[in-house]
Amino acid sequence: MRSPHFVTIAVRKPNEAIVLRNQSYESWGHRYPVFKRPILRGICSLVESMFQGIDALSYSAQVLAGGEDSNQKLSNWSIAVSILVAFAMGMGLFVALPHFLTAVLTSGQYLNLTAESPIFHLIDGFLKIAILLVYVSAISLMKDIRRVFQYHGAEHKSIYTFEAGQELTVENARKFTTLHPRCGTSFLLFLVLISIAVFSIVFPLFQLTHLSSNPILNHLCMVLLKILLMFPVAGLAYEFIKFCAFRMQSRLFRILIWPGLILQKLTTREPTDDQLEVALASLKYVIHMEESQGRKSPSFKEELEIASLQELGEIKSRVGQFLEA
């Protein structure tokens, strides 16, 4: 869980205790105000989340492994390499593969269309969504991934509890849905949908569909451009979700965000009470840290082990204190 100034990770140990690691956090937007601007803030949030996600996975694995290594962490270099590898695989699977499949389907042998046609990018987007659905459905068959999806659901229920102004208890969190409008799964879907519109406009407008006389090289150049354009597209998707999520009282915005909520049915599962307790512990501890602003005391350590959620006490903050201006 991340607050404006801290990041907390909670892990359930084999002995059923919950270990919490807390670290101070300063976003690029706080250090460099230019990154608080629309579009740029979405790109920064995505990159920061990737670094923190890899670090959290590494830490949780080390805690479960036990021993002296539990206090060690991946170096920034190792995290960067992991992200680069994941990014390359993601771009290959969700950008390059659908593009070249579309190029085959729209060739003279079949539909006889070029990348100047919006239909080319519509087919490309449809294939991206199809690959995403198949990929998520396939990995959800893995036992460990199903547990990840349960913790994903626990995260959403915990956030809903805090947003509702209720005490962070398992009983209160249990009743909320696992589908949340600001979820990363929704982000992925709208990333694809917005990319269809952007690519349909940008490539014909700037004559980027005939960059080489060699057809294969021409499509390779377009794929590279698409990868570069994915960053501003990600910024647009972030702004869209942010804009809609804070207007969910309107039926129009609930309809707009609805496809992302439906897709979350694949990436979230109903959590157990034990999983809810872990998610709530992480959220409660990071809020406590935010309330104390990191003041040194025996209660707030970089690493803390608790037997139950009740040991963390109650929080006083409300969600309005953490919303961006």
Secondary structure of the chain in HEC code, one letter for each residue: CECCCEEEEEEECCCCCEEEEEEECCCHHHHCHHHHCCCHHHHHHHHHHHHHHHHHHHHHHHHHHCCHHHHCCCCHHHHHHHHHHHHHHHHHHHHHHHHHHHHHHCCCCCCCCCCCCHHHHHHHHHHHHHHHHHHHHHHCCCHHHHHHHHHHHHHHHHHHHHHCCCCCCHHHHHCCCCCCCCCHHHHHHHHHHHHHHHHHHHHHHCCCCCCCCCHHHHHHHHHHHHHHHHHHHHHHHHHHHHHHHCCCCCHHHHHHHHHHHHHHHHHCCCCCHHHHHHHHHHHHHHHHHHHHCCCCECCECCEEEECCHHHHCCCCCCHHHHCCC
| Whether residue 163 has pLDDT greater than 90 | yes
Distance CA 194, CA 44 (A): 18
| Whether residue 160 has pLDDT greater than 90 | yes
**What average pLDDT does the chain have?**
90
Would you state the pLDDT for residue 70?
47
Which pLDDT band holds residue 68 (cuts at 50, 70, 90)?
Answer: very low
Q: pLDDT tens digits, residue range 264-302?
A: 999 999 999 999 999 999 999 999 988 887 555 445 568
Query: Contact, 312 vs 281, CB < 8 A?
Result: yes
Would you state the pLDDT for residue 239?
96
- What share of the chain has pLDDT > 70, as a percent? 94
Over range 235-247, report the average pLDDT. Answer: 94
Distance CA 54, CA 74 (A): 9
Give the pair of three-digit tokens for residue 5. Answer: 């100034």
C-alpha count within 13 angstroms, C-beta hemisphere, residue 104? 6
pTM score: 0.90
Would you state the pLDDT for residue 300?
57
Would you state the pLDDT for residue 213?
92
| Whether residue 324 has pLDDT greater than 70 | no
